[in-house]
Amino acid sequence: MSMYRIDFNDFFTSAFSVDCILFGYSEGEIKALLIKRAMQPFENLWAIPGDLIYPDEDLEQAAERVLFELTGLNNIAMHQSQTFGKPNRHPQGRVITISYFALLRIEDFEVKASSWAGDVQWVSLKNMPDLAFDHNHILSSTYEMLKLKLQNEPICFDVLPERFTLNEFQQLYEFAFEQAFDKANFRKKIKYIPLIAHDEKQQNVKHRPAKLFSFDKTTYEEATTQNRYTFKM
């Protein structure tokens, strides 16, 4: 299987790839999952995991597959960000790339390098080295998109576990926006988000366990299509 190695013969055709930006949070920092390229071009440079899309493959499906192949991460729901297509962004020909992203808690997953990737590592956004291709640019605009979507769409629930505590919910936003929120005010803010409260409680905690909630997608979609509610954080 080729990776970024293709013939560019047809006048109107190009290659297209997906780049998968995985944002993770741990130790109070936002990090991105990078791979060390094991082949030319940009051999040994760090890069965003990405590869070409199969001809019969849906874009989102491609993003999930590529992420799995390069990092071993499975079943991560990816969100489309932007498409990058400067004619010379790839040294070997025209490759237009569609960036996808997801957000997760690093300690919940274990990544392993594939044969394509010499190494896989979480790198802090504050400490980003020079990356292959235009990946520094892709990374920073995708981070902006992540924040924009977290504020305007309920993508946080793709990231949180099926049942979550309100504190986990709050921490997600604190990590993504790198600021603390007042607990009481946070709960007032989310008052109108349709959540289902469960009777069970958080397990394995040393002190008072928190109540568990899940996102009420049905009610949410009813309310938005009827224009009674718009998600806003």
The residues binding a copy of itself (CB under 8 A) are 2, 6-16, 52-59, 80, 82-83, 85-87, 94, 96, 98, 148, 151-152
Q: Which residue has the tokens 């924040």?
A: 147
Nearer to a copy of itself, 6 or 106 (CB): 6
Nearer to DNA, 181 or 220 (CB): 181
119, 37 Cβ separation under 8 angstroms: no
Nearer to DNA, 112 or 183 (CB): 183
Amino acid sitting at position 175: F
Closest distance of CB 47 from a copy of itself, Å = 19
The item of DNA, a copy of itself, none sharing an interface with residue 13, based on CB under 5 to 8 Å by kind, is a copy of itself
Secondary structure E strands in 106-206: 117-124, 195-201
228, 194 Cβ separation under 8 angstroms: no
Closest distance of CB 231 from DNA, Å = 13
Nearer to a copy of itself, 47 or 52 (CB): 52
Helix pair 166-177, 135-152: axis angle to 10 deg: 140
Closest distance of CB 30 from a copy of itself, Å = 15
Go through the chain and tell me how many residues it has. Answer: 233
Strand arrangement, sheet containing 117-124? 46-47, 29-37, 117-124
- What is the distance between the alpha carbons of residues 30 and 14, in angstroms, rounded to a whole number? 34
Give me the residues paired with residue 196 across strands: 214
51, 133 Cβ separation under 8 angstroms: no
The item of DNA, a copy of itself, none sharing an interface with residue 166, based on CB under 5 to 8 Å by kind, is DNA
- What is the distance between the alpha carbons of residues 120 and 113, in angstroms, rounded to a whole number? 5
The item of a copy of itself, DNA, none sharing an interface with residue 217, based on CB under 5 to 8 Å by kind, is none
Nearer to DNA, 126 or 206 (CB): 206
- What is the distance between the alpha carbons of residues 31 and 230, in angstroms, rounded to a whole number? 29
104: tokens are 């997760």
Nearer to a copy of itself, 61 or 202 (CB): 61
Closest distance of CB 168 from a copy of itself, Å = 26
Closest distance of CB 47 from DNA, Å = 37
The item of DNA, a copy of itself, none sharing an interface with residue 211, based on CB under 5 to 8 Å by kind, is DNA
Which residues contact DNA by CB under 7 A? 165-167, 182-185, 187-189, 201, 205-211
